[in-house]
Amino acid sequence: MSAEDQAAKTEPQPEELEEFIDASELEALRTERDEFRDRFMRALADAENSRKRADRDRREAEQYGSTRLARELLPVYDNLKRALESANDELRAQAGPLLEGVELTLRELTNVMTRHGIAPITPKAGDVFDPQLHQAMFEAPVPGTKAGEIIQVMTEGFMLHDRLLRPAQVGVSSTTGG
pLDDT value, residue 12: 58
pLDDT, mean of residues 41-62: 93
Per-residue confidence (pLDDT) for residue 2, from 0 to 100:
63
pLDDT at position 114 = 94
Instruction: Kindly indicate whether the domain formed by 119-178 is annotated with CATH number 1.10.1030.10.
Output: no
pLDDT digits (tens, 9 = 90+) for 56-111: 999 888 888 888 899 999 999 999 999 999 988 888 889 889 999 999 999 999 99
Query: pLDDT value at position 136?
Result: 95
State residue 178's pLDDT score: 46
Where do the structural domains in the chain lie, given as residue ranges?
3-63, 66-116, 119-178
User: Mean pLDDT across the chain, nearest whole number?
Assistant: 88
Q: What is the pLDDT of residues 103-138, one digit of tens each?
A: 999 999 999 999 999 999 999 999 999 999 999 999
**Which pLDDT value is given to residue 25?**
87
pTM, to two decimals: 0.67
Q: Can you give the chain as a three-state secondary structure string?
A: CCHHHHHHHHCCCHHHHHHHCCHHHHHHHHHHHHHHHHHHHHHHHHHHHHHHHHHHHHHHHHHHCCHHHHHHHHHHHHHHHHHHHHCCHHHHHHCHHHHHHHHHHHHHHHHHHHHCCEEEECCCCCCECCCCCEEEEEEECCCCCCCCEEEEEEECEEEECCEEEECEEEEEECCCCC
- Residue 95's pLDDT is what? 86
